[in-house]
Amino acid sequence: MKKHLVNFLLLIIIVCSIFWLGGINVRAIVVNELFYTGTLEWKNNLSPDYYSAIFKVITISSIYAMVSYFFLFISIILYLSLSKIDLKSKGWLMASIILFFLFSPVEIYTSVFDFKFIYEYFFGTADYYYLKELLIKRLTSLSGLPVIALFSYYTILILFVWKPLDKSKTNS
Protein backbone atom coordinates (compact mmCIF):
# COMPACT_ATOMS: atom_id res chain seq x y z
CA MET A 1 0.00 0.00 0.00
CA LYS A 2 2.81 2.38 0.90
CA LYS A 3 4.57 1.67 -2.41
CA HIS A 4 1.41 2.56 -4.33
CA LEU A 5 1.08 5.81 -2.39
CA VAL A 6 4.72 6.69 -3.11
CA ASN A 7 4.21 5.95 -6.81
CA PHE A 8 1.02 8.01 -6.84
CA LEU A 9 2.89 10.90 -5.20
CA LEU A 10 5.58 10.61 -7.86
CA LEU A 11 2.88 10.83 -10.54
CA ILE A 12 1.43 13.92 -8.87
CA ILE A 13 4.90 15.46 -8.74
CA ILE A 14 5.44 14.88 -12.45
CA VAL A 15 2.01 16.18 -13.51
CA CYS A 16 2.15 19.21 -11.21
CA SER A 17 5.66 20.01 -12.41
CA ILE A 18 4.48 20.03 -16.01
CA PHE A 19 1.54 22.33 -15.27
CA TRP A 20 3.60 24.57 -12.99
CA LEU A 21 6.51 25.03 -15.39
CA GLY A 22 4.07 25.40 -18.27
CA GLY A 23 2.17 28.12 -16.43
CA ILE A 24 5.36 29.96 -15.56
CA ASN A 25 6.62 29.83 -19.14
CA VAL A 26 3.30 30.86 -20.69
CA ARG A 27 3.01 33.78 -18.28
CA ALA A 28 6.57 34.91 -19.02
CA ILE A 29 6.06 34.77 -22.77
CA VAL A 30 2.71 36.56 -22.65
CA VAL A 31 3.95 39.28 -20.28
CA ASN A 32 6.86 39.87 -22.64
CA GLU A 33 4.34 40.86 -25.33
CA LEU A 34 3.26 43.88 -23.27
CA PHE A 35 6.64 45.60 -23.12
CA TYR A 36 9.23 46.90 -25.51
CA THR A 37 12.14 44.47 -25.70
CA GLY A 38 14.57 44.79 -22.81
CA THR A 39 12.56 47.41 -20.92
CA LEU A 40 9.57 47.72 -18.65
CA GLU A 41 8.06 50.34 -20.94
CA TRP A 42 4.52 49.50 -22.03
CA LYS A 43 3.72 49.25 -25.71
CA ASN A 44 1.40 52.15 -26.45
CA ASN A 45 -0.09 50.84 -29.67
CA LEU A 46 -2.08 48.01 -28.08
CA SER A 47 -5.87 48.09 -28.02
CA PRO A 48 -7.93 47.59 -24.85
CA ASP A 49 -9.20 44.28 -26.26
CA TYR A 50 -5.60 43.11 -26.63
CA TYR A 51 -4.89 44.03 -23.00
CA SER A 52 -8.02 42.20 -21.93
CA ALA A 53 -6.96 39.03 -23.76
CA ILE A 54 -3.39 39.22 -22.44
CA PHE A 55 -4.54 39.83 -18.87
CA LYS A 56 -6.91 36.88 -19.12
CA VAL A 57 -4.09 34.58 -20.26
CA ILE A 58 -1.83 35.91 -17.48
CA THR A 59 -4.59 35.26 -14.94
CA ILE A 60 -5.31 31.72 -16.13
CA SER A 61 -1.64 30.77 -16.34
CA SER A 62 -1.08 32.21 -12.86
CA ILE A 63 -3.92 30.09 -11.51
CA TYR A 64 -2.39 26.98 -13.09
CA ALA A 65 1.03 27.86 -11.73
CA MET A 66 -0.14 28.64 -8.19
CA VAL A 67 -2.38 25.60 -7.78
CA SER A 68 0.19 23.27 -9.33
CA TYR A 69 2.97 24.68 -7.17
CA PHE A 70 0.92 24.18 -4.02
CA PHE A 71 0.24 20.51 -4.83
CA LEU A 72 3.82 20.03 -6.02
CA PHE A 73 5.24 21.45 -2.80
CA ILE A 74 3.05 19.22 -0.61
CA SER A 75 3.65 16.15 -2.79
CA ILE A 76 7.43 16.55 -2.67
CA ILE A 77 7.38 16.80 1.12
CA LEU A 78 5.16 13.73 1.42
CA TYR A 79 7.22 11.81 -1.16
CA LEU A 80 10.47 12.53 0.66
CA SER A 81 9.02 11.55 4.01
CA LEU A 82 7.43 8.31 2.77
CA SER A 83 9.90 7.02 0.18
CA LYS A 84 13.01 6.80 2.40
CA ILE A 85 15.34 7.56 -0.52
CA ASP A 86 19.04 7.59 0.29
CA LEU A 87 19.93 11.13 -0.74
CA LYS A 88 23.63 10.55 -0.05
CA SER A 89 23.87 8.15 -2.95
CA LYS A 90 21.72 10.30 -5.24
CA GLY A 91 23.48 13.64 -5.31
CA TRP A 92 21.49 14.83 -8.31
CA LEU A 93 18.24 14.39 -6.37
CA MET A 94 19.65 16.16 -3.33
CA ALA A 95 20.79 19.09 -5.50
CA SER A 96 17.36 19.21 -7.16
CA ILE A 97 15.58 19.26 -3.80
CA ILE A 98 17.87 22.00 -2.51
CA LEU A 99 17.27 24.13 -5.62
CA PHE A 100 13.51 23.62 -5.42
CA PHE A 101 13.19 24.52 -1.74
CA LEU A 102 15.79 27.28 -1.96
CA PHE A 103 13.56 29.23 -4.33
CA SER A 104 10.25 28.36 -2.67
CA PRO A 105 10.17 31.70 -0.78
CA VAL A 106 10.51 33.47 -4.14
CA GLU A 107 7.56 31.52 -5.54
CA ILE A 108 5.45 32.14 -2.46
CA TYR A 109 6.25 35.87 -2.46
CA THR A 110 5.46 36.31 -6.16
CA SER A 111 2.29 34.23 -5.67
CA VAL A 112 1.01 36.99 -3.41
CA PHE A 113 1.20 39.41 -6.34
CA ASP A 114 -0.34 36.80 -8.61
CA PHE A 115 -3.22 36.32 -6.19
CA LYS A 116 -3.83 40.07 -6.07
CA PHE A 117 -3.79 40.18 -9.86
CA ILE A 118 -6.22 37.25 -10.12
CA TYR A 119 -8.53 38.70 -7.49
CA GLU A 120 -8.56 42.12 -9.13
CA TYR A 121 -9.15 40.63 -12.57
CA PHE A 122 -12.09 38.41 -11.56
CA PHE A 123 -13.65 40.25 -8.61
CA GLY A 124 -12.39 43.82 -8.85
CA THR A 125 -13.08 46.54 -11.33
CA ALA A 126 -10.49 45.07 -13.72
CA ASP A 127 -9.04 48.55 -14.14
CA TYR A 128 -6.24 48.13 -16.66
CA TYR A 129 -4.09 50.79 -15.02
CA TYR A 130 -4.27 49.02 -11.67
CA LEU A 131 -3.60 45.63 -13.31
CA LYS A 132 -0.59 47.16 -15.08
CA GLU A 133 0.63 48.53 -11.76
CA LEU A 134 0.27 45.12 -10.09
CA LEU A 135 2.12 43.47 -12.95
CA ILE A 136 4.98 45.96 -12.74
CA LYS A 137 5.18 45.43 -8.95
CA ARG A 138 5.38 41.67 -9.49
CA LEU A 139 8.09 42.00 -12.11
CA THR A 140 10.22 44.43 -10.10
CA SER A 141 9.56 43.13 -6.57
CA LEU A 142 12.58 40.84 -6.28
CA SER A 143 14.65 42.24 -9.16
CA GLY A 144 16.01 39.29 -11.13
CA LEU A 145 15.47 36.60 -8.51
CA PRO A 146 12.40 35.02 -10.19
CA VAL A 147 14.40 34.70 -13.41
CA ILE A 148 17.24 33.04 -11.52
CA ALA A 149 14.66 30.73 -9.95
CA LEU A 150 13.35 29.83 -13.40
CA PHE A 151 16.87 28.97 -14.55
CA SER A 152 17.31 26.80 -11.46
CA TYR A 153 14.12 24.92 -12.37
CA TYR A 154 15.57 24.27 -15.82
CA THR A 155 18.71 23.05 -14.05
CA ILE A 156 16.58 20.62 -12.06
CA LEU A 157 15.25 19.20 -15.33
CA ILE A 158 18.83 18.76 -16.58
CA LEU A 159 19.79 17.06 -13.32
CA PHE A 160 16.89 14.63 -13.66
CA VAL A 161 17.95 13.67 -17.16
CA TRP A 162 21.72 13.62 -16.69
CA LYS A 163 21.81 12.39 -13.04
CA PRO A 164 25.31 13.46 -12.03
CA LEU A 165 26.69 12.54 -8.60
CA ASP A 166 24.80 9.24 -8.60
CA LYS A 167 26.77 6.83 -6.40
CA SER A 168 24.25 4.03 -6.86
CA LYS A 169 25.41 3.58 -10.49
CA THR A 170 29.08 3.23 -9.59
CA ASN A 171 28.50 0.78 -6.73
CA SER A 172 26.43 -1.73 -8.68
Single out the residue of 92, 83, 88, 101 nearest to residue 149, CA to CA: 101
Q: In 33-144, where does DSSP find H-type helix?
A: 48-83, 91-102, 104-123, 128-140
Other beta carbons within 10 Å of 107: 21
Query: Tell me, what's the pLDDT at 147?
Result: 92
80 contacts: CB under 8 Å, gap ≥ 6:
97
- Model confidence at 167, pLDDT cuts 50, 70, 90, reads confident
Mean of pLDDT values over 160-168 = 84
Q: What is the pLDDT of residue 169?
A: 62
Q: Which residue ranges make up each domain of the chain? A: 2-171
Q: Give the pLDDT confidence of 41-97 residue by residue, as tens digits.
A: 999 888 889 989 999 999 999 999 999 999 999 999 999 999 988 888 999 999 999
Q: Please report, as a single letter, which amino acid is at residue 130.
A: Y
Which pLDDT value is given to residue 171? 52
